[in-house]
Structure 1
């Protein structure tokens, strides 16, 4: 089964660390990163989709970050 996550964060090193941590846990980049202005908070935001192949069946109760 393939899992999907969309990682988001303000445009700081925290975003790079979040993506790097996911990669170190076996997640793979999926598509291009995204970058947009969050007008309500006045900051730039980053996003990156990642996927991971795991055993078992999908459940909406899964904690994807723990995979």
Structure 2
């Protein structure tokens, strides 16, 4: 199965740590990062899509917790 996640966080070290943790669990970057202003919180936010192929497993919507992979 191929898994997809979109990681987001405030534009600080938290975002970099979140992406680094995913990369170290075998996820790969997918596309370019995004950067946008959150008017409600009055902060900049970052986002990055990541993907991961898992052999021999079947995806079940709502049953597969993506962050566990």
Give TM-score scaled by structure 1 length.
Answer: 0.97
Residue 62 (1) aligns with residue 28 (2): no
Over residues 3-55 of structure 1, what are the superposed CA-to-partner deviations in whole Å (9 max), with x where a residue is unaligned? 00000000010000000000000000000000000001100000000000003
Matched, 1:6 2:2: no
Runs ≥4 residues deviating over 6 A: none
Which sections of structure 2, spanning at least 5 residues, go unmatched?
none
Q: In structure 1, list runs of 5 or more residues that go unmatched.
A: none
Per the TM alignment, residue 65 of structure 1 is displaced from its structure 2 partner at its CA by 0.6
Instruction: Give the structure-2-normalised TM-score.
Output: 0.94
